[in-house]
Structure formats: structure tokens, C-alpha cells
Amino acid sequence: MRMILVGPPGAGKGTQAARLVETFKIPHISSGDMLRAAVKEGTPLGLEADRFMKAGQLVPDEVVIGMILERIKKVDCAKGFMLDGFPRTRPQAEALDKAMKEAGVALDSVVVIDVPDALLEERAVGRRTDPVTGTIYHLKYNPPPAEVADRLVHRKDDTSEAVTTRIQKYHSETAPIVPFYEQQKILKRVDGVGNPDEITKRLVAALS
């Protein structure tokens, strides 16, 4: 199962990604984690990326794509992988597609978790994180136990204004990758409204 998981901020991608990689026994390749690992390992591409990051610049797409191709050739990706956090734009999707075809690797599915904007905002604004365990709660949908409530953190990017900005950015920059993969007949849309278990069942059914 070689796949990309896409969804707007607050769609529950993190929760569902963890469940899907467990279900399909594939590695979760986060572009951010991959960059940090390559820099730490001192690979040629990692060193190149590090130069850009130290200069406060974005790592060029071709460097990120090179790292992705290196990563998916590793033994643990033999049965597939889940790519998360890249591509974020249509040009990135097109460049990744070209590079993967040249490398003889084809995606099986690109899954989009669909959630209405109003619900995304409600989900994000009510989200709280436990800094000790890393557990994420929601004041309405997944209330924290009383003994941890006082230490929970409300992230700065989970305010109404910040969430609205992130949703707008998703629609303008990331959503255009959807028709690109739709044309290739590998796009699967999954309703992201409901409890996490229901959504997981829908995702597994769409991918099976």
C-alpha cells in the first residue's frame, strides 16, 4: 500500500495516520521527520537541506523529493508507505509524480479526509495537549480527565483566527492537488465527520 494522506488542518490526519500505518503495517513518512533524520544522519541531501534551513530558507522541492525517493527505497518500505506533509501544492505533486515514475514507483492511493470548514474550526479551537504525555484531548469530543486538566496546553495555532488562516491556505495551496490525483484515478475521498473509530473504518474500507 503506497499512499499519500491529505486533509485540511483539524481533519484528524494525525490520529488516522497512526491507525492506518498500524493496520497496513507500513512506515509513516512525515516530510518534517524525514528532513530532520537526513540532517542528523549527515546524508548528502541532508547536508544540502541543512544549509537552506540554517539560512532560514525553505528546502527546495527537488531536495525534499530526492529524500523521499531515498527513503522509500529502504527495506521497511518494501510493502508500502504512507507519505504525509508532502506534496502541499500542485507543482509539488506534479514534480513528485514525475520523479516517482522515473524511479519506477507508483502510488496506489491518495486519500483525502473531507471535513466542513465550520467543524474544522470547532475541532481545532477546542483541542488541548497534555505536555507530559503528548495526548491530545478535545473539550467537547474527548474531554480530559480531571487530574490532568490543569496542565493542558492550548496551542497558539489553535485559535479561531489562526485556524481560519490555515484553512484558507489549505484551500488555496493544497486542495488543487486533489483534481491532479483524481485525473490519475487513484484519489479516494473519505467523510471525516464522526468519531475516530467510524472514520478509521471508512478509510480502511476505501483502501482495502
Domain final position from 58, 78, 98: 78
- pLDDT at position 159, please? 86
Residue 21 shares a structural domain with residue 118 = yes
Residue 89 shares a structural domain with residue 100 = yes
Q: Residues 1-27: what's their mean pLDDT?
A: 92
Exactly one of 2, 71, 123, 127 is catalytic; which is it?
127
Residue 63 shares a structural domain with residue 161 = no
Quote helix, strand, coil % in the chain, to nearest 5: 55, 15, 30
- What is the pLDDT confidence band of residue 195, given thresholds at 50, 70 and 90? confident
Nearest of 90, 95, 82 to residue 171 by alpha carbon = 90
Mean pLDDT computed over every residue of the chain: 92
Residue 37 shares a structural domain with residue 97 = no
Residue 138 shares a structural domain with residue 48 = no
Nearest of 114, 149, 146, 103 to residue 128 by alpha carbon = 149
Count Cβ atoms below 10 Å from residue 100 Cβ, excluding itself.
17
Q: Residues 192-207: what's their mean pLDDT?
A: 94
Residue 48 shares a structural domain with residue 86 = no
Nearest of 38, 141, 25, 132 to residue 81 by alpha carbon = 25
**What are 107-148's pLDDT values in tens digits?**
999 999 999 998 988 888 898 999 999 888 888 888 999 999
Asked about 36 being catalytic, the answer comes back as no
Exactly one of 25, 51, 79, 155 is catalytic; which is it?
155
- pLDDT at position 140, please? 87
- pLDDT at position 107, please? 94
What CATH number does residue 89 fall under?
A: 3.40.50.300
Domain final position from 12, 45, 78: 78
Residue 113 shares a structural domain with residue 186 = yes
Please give the backbone phi and psi of residue 14, each rounded to the nearest 5 degrees, phi first: -60, -45
Domain final position from 17, 46, 78: 78
The helix or strand, by DSSP H or E, that contains position 33, with its residue range, turns out to be helix 31-41
**What are 39-59's pLDDT values in tens digits?**
888 889 989 999 998 888 889
Residue 54 shares a structural domain with residue 142 = no
Please tell me the least confidently modeled range out of 10-19, 106-115, 184-193: 10-19
Cα→Cα distances 184→31, 114, 188, 198, 203, Å: 23, 19, 11, 27, 19
Please give the backbone phi and psi of residue 115, each rounded to the nearest 5 degrees, phi first: -140, 135
| Residue 25 scores a pLDDT above 90 | yes
Q: Residues 136-162: what's their mean pLDDT?
A: 89
Q: Residues 93-120: what's their mean pLDDT?
A: 94
Number of domains in the chain: 2
Exactly one of 19, 88, 169, 189 is catalytic; which is it?
88
Residue 105 shares a structural domain with residue 159 = yes
- How is residue 192 annotated by DSSP? -
Asked about 166 being catalytic, the answer comes back as yes
Exactly one of 2, 128, 166, 202 is catalytic; which is it?
166
Residue 37 shares a structural domain with residue 100 = no
Residue 176 shares a structural domain with residue 106 = yes
| Domain residue limits at 189 | 2-26+79-207
Asked about 88 being catalytic, the answer comes back as yes
Exactly one of 13, 71, 123, 128 is catalytic; which is it?
13
Residue 133 shares a structural domain with residue 185 = yes
Q: Residues 155-179: what's their mean pLDDT?
A: 91
